[in-house]
Amino acid sequence: MRQMDAPSLVLRALRLAASADSIPALSHLYQETLGLPAVPTPDGLKLTAGRSEVEFSVAASGARPFYHYALLVPGDRFAAAARWLIARGVTLLPVPGTTDTTFDFDLWHAQACYFEDPAGNIVELIAHRGQEENGTTGPFSPTELAGVSEIGLVVDDLAETAAALDAGLGLRVWDGSTSGRLAFVGRQAHTLILVPRGWGWLPTGRPAEVHPLEVTLGDTAPGELTIARLPYRVVGR
């Protein structure tokens, strides 16, 4: 599907589970170290990143859930954003087999870097050239984050899930393939990533797991979708 044909989509909010003992460390990293606006909730923590919210709620006793999600950086500010993370003591994960921490996605005209947060989430900062650029220069500020760019959905059947997202919310696969092991649904820079259980997430190769997840989408067809046999809820507004 050509991007000019892709329907509008913004990832407005994520609700993720996190172990109870990781909540204080998540607050320290995101609020105190990185300077993202954050407020406590009755059962966890809610962050604001650009036009998106990421909420962590306490998981079931003994559970240690983790997810892959990405935050969107202006297309011309990747290098500044990577320096911002490093200056605040965040350890960037290397490209496998190298010491380089910049991932080049040439087909997308994008660059990314990754780190693990205290809950074990594999967090990505990604910049797509030509998107969200406003000519800002100088040191990077967390206020420049545009929002959530990606969230991984670990599913049992890629084709079935993609068909449900299309029928229920008008979202289509724009890259990858449901006949393979990786499919990107939505539009470039605003994406639901469909992967099978056990998929090795970049850059660590940690096998993907199913954990409770709620996603709120904006600028898309209104509706609400649950993914068959999985603890997911996707809301379109």
Q: What residue numbers bound the domain in which 190 lies?
A: 3-236
CATH of the domain at 45: 3.10.180.10
* Distance separating alpha carbons of residues 14 and 54, to the nearest angstrom: 5
pLDDT digits (tens, 9 = 90+) for 164-201: 999 999 999 999 999 989 999 999 999 999 999 999 99
DSSP 3-state assignment of 190? strand
List all residues 6 or more positions away from 83 whose beta carbon is below 8 Å from its beta carbon.
139, 140
3-class secondary-structure state, position 159: helix
Number of domains present in the structure of the chain: 1
Residues 6+ apart with CB under 8 A from 40: 27, 46
What does the pLDDT look like over 44-79, one tens digit per residue?
Answer: 999 999 999 999 999 999 999 999 999 999 999 999
pTM (whole model) above 0.85: yes
Distance (Å, rounded) from C-alpha 185 to C-alpha 161?
10
Residues in the chain: 237
